[in-house]
Structure 1
Amino acid sequence: MTTLSAVSQLAPASRASVARLVQIQIHGLEQTIDHALSGSGSLLTRMINAAQAAKLSAGEGQAAIDRVVASIVAARSMRAEIVAAHDELRTIGGRINLREMGWGDLVPSPETAAAASGGTAAGELAA
């Protein structure tokens, strides 16, 4: 198992490579959880609409509704934990000088922008 100190001793390109794999996986997991939350909400809506269309009493199907609501609560908790893990990883990335991993896809990180312009980014050693 790779420890934080072992990762921090890797060459900058290797550290970025390892960090990119983790970043890709955590973004994928976040999307999966969001998809599950959305699907659970849609299922709940469909179940309630179906019960009303079938003119079921309020008590009929309540146990199934409770289960779906419980799954939504569980997915919400999972999402909160993964978001917290993502924040922790961002903190670790800063400690081992991988701040560029926390910028996301919306804007280029300072390191990416500096590399594109041929400059030296913060935290890099000039050759």
Structure 2
Amino acid sequence: MKLEVLEEKCAACGVCELTCALRRFKANNPKKAMIRAEMIVLKDDVKVRVKVCRICEEKPCIKTCPTGALKFNGRWIEVDETLCTLCRACASVCPFEAIFFHRDVRGPLICNLCSGDPQCVKMCPMEVLKVVNV
């Protein structure tokens, strides 16, 4: 399973970010979210970019991790925080810019689909996010 994102429908309202942070850390802090929606202002247009792990086929984050802290369990990327050195190599190669760090969290923030029950999908008022089985 993975998330499909319909960015053209997204209003960058932040509901997904708050839902994620509340679910994972019980914190009203979108900076702890494993999904980010950002507005990009262009000369004649405004676009929204949703940054969340899309479980890409190549998984460069896993290949790049020098300590083996990242593993694919068949459904999402798992982080072994005891192995992570916070080198950020994984974030530097993510094609979706979907790996985040927060000073209060030991290890990278990578969407784990809420262990198979992604709350952001349920809470998104614009129905931007969908779960797709792969």
Name the TM-score class by shorter chain.
under 0.3
Greater relative contact order (Cα < 8 A, sep 6+): 2
TM-score of the superposed pair, with normalisation by structure 2: 0.25
Q: Which has the larger radius of gyration?
A: 1
TM-score normalised by length of structure 1: 0.26
Q: Which has the higher helix share?
A: 1
